């Protein structure tokens, strides 16, 4: 047996190697994909005033008769913004280690995006007298809700989309949480069949429902979905800013890494968004 080996030698003769795990993919924030970004607001007090017209009805008028005057309503909704933040404090020595700066910058950007997605969908309405952060889409008063859960087929979703279209919506996408998407992928074409309704199998299902693109995100409430018309969701969003400062913690020789993102949104016609639940028996 050899007398010299890495097991018995000092660590200097068998040094460890270091690497960083691959970074998580930074997904595009939901607010950018499922709303109409119209402005960059700076500050808690300023708002984006979004005007829209509630159409009056037209009518037939006989030749030569006086045409009745219409009175379309000139309405508006206000978009207030809130600032999502993260601050990381570390020593100069740690900051100078290879890979630390880049990895922390990417981490803070991911954390900001994750919080933004959760707020855009499920944020509670602001307290009385407050304007921000705005209520998430599922908590906005007046959205269309289908109380019939999807259990064995997509009929409740068909009914919901039909109702939204009757409300004047032109749906542009569906947002689902992972559990709801998994349940829908397990729906079978008939009792006892192994053929799935939306095509999951050896070739996985394309993420479409009723020809609408599907976004799957853990930011959505469990076992639920939202049908979105991005033209009905107006938002304000600036750039994600990641900054470093080597002076703020001067007395302890530290570095601050700060990330901020100011965003806000509101819905012009809430009845054009639809919420549904999935309690599919397909998990059996």
Please report, for the domain that includes residue 122, its CATH number.
3.30.2320.10
115-125: per-residue pLDDT in tens? 999 999 999 99
Contacts of 122 (CB under 8 A, 6+ apart): 136, 138, 139, 219, 220, 221
Contact between 30 and 175 (Cβ < 8 Å): yes
Tell me, yes or no, whether 59 lies in a domain. no
Give the residue among 132, 119, 115 at the shortest CA–CA distance from 45. 132
121-157 as b/e: b if 16+ CB within 10 A: bbbeeeeeeebbbbbbbbebeebbebeeebeeebebb
Residue 13 lies in a domain: no
pLDDT in the model for residue 215: 95
Lowest pLDDT segment from 61-65, 222-226, 278-282: 278-282
Q: Which of 154, 175, 180 has the alpha carbon at shortest distance from 229?
A: 175
Question: Is the residue at 66 inside a domain?
Answer: no
In a domain, 6, yes or no: no
Distances (CA, A) of 76 to 47, 139, 233: 12, 19, 13
Q: How do residues 128-181 score in pLDDT, each as one tens digit?
A: 888 889 999 999 999 999 999 999 889 999 999 999 999 999 999 999 999 999
- CB count, 10 Å around CB of 225? 28
Q: Determine, yes or no, domain membership for 233.
A: yes
**pLDDT at residue number 245:** 87
pLDDT tens-digit map of 17-40: 554 444 444 468 899 999 998 888
pLDDT category of residue 284 using cuts at 50, 70 and 90: very low
Residue 147's SS3 state is coil
Q: CA dist 66 to 62, 69, 72, 74, 111, Å?
A: 8, 9, 19, 24, 62
Give the global pTM: 0.84
The arithmetic mean of pLDDT across residues 179-193, rounded, is 78
Q: Which domain holds residue 167?
A: 28-52+75-283
242 within some domain: yes
Q: How far apart are the first and last CA of the chain?
A: 58
Please give the tally of structural domains in the chain: 1
- What band does 281 get if pLDDT is binned at 50, 70 and 90? low
**Percent of the residues in the chain that have a pLDDT greater than 70, as a whole number:** 84
Contacts of 73 (CB under 8 A, 6+ apart): 53, 54, 56
Instruction: Specify the pairing of strand 173-176 against strand 224-228.
Output: antiparallel
What's the rounded Cα separation, in Å, for the pair 279 and 266? 29
Q: Is 18 part of any domain?
A: no
Rg (CA), the chain: 26
How much is the pLDDT for 205? 59
Q: Is residue 7 in a domain? A: no
């Amino acid at each position: 047996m050899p007398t010299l080996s890495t097991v018995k030698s000092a660590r200097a003769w068998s040094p460890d190697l270091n690497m960083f795990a691959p970074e998580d993919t930074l997904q595009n924030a939901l607010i950018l994909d499922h709303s109409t970004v119209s402005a960059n607001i700076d500050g808690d007090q300023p708002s984006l005033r979004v005007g829209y017209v509630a159409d009056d009805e037209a009518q037939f008028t006989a030749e030569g008769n006086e045409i009745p005057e219409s009175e379309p309503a000139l309405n508006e909704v206000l978009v207030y913004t809130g600032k999502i933040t993260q601050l990381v404090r570390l020593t100069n020595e740690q900051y100078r280690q290879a890979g630390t700066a880049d990895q922390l910058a990417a981490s803070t950007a991911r954390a900001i995006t994750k919080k933004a997605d959760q707020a855009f969908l499920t944020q509670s309405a602001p307290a009385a007298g407050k304007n921000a952060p705005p209520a998430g889409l599922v908590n906005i008063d007046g959205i269309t809700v289908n109380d019939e859960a999807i259990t064995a087929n997509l009929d409740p979703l068909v009914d919901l989309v039909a109702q939204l279209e009757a409300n004047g919506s032109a749906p542009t996408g569906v947002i689902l949480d992972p559990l709801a998407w998994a349940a829908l992928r397990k729906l079978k074409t008939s009792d006892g069949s192994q053929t799935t309704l939306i095509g999951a199998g050896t070739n996985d299902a394309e993420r479409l429902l009723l020809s609408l693109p599907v976004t799957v995100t853990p930011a959505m409430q469990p076992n639920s979905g939202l049908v979105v018309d991005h033209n009905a969701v107006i938002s304000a969003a600036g750039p994600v800013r990641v900054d470093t400062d080597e002076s703020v913690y001067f007395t302890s020789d530290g570095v601050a890494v700060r990330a901020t993102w100011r965003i806000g949104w509101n819905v012009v016609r809430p009845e054009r968004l639809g919420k549904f639940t999935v309690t599919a028996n397909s998990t059996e």
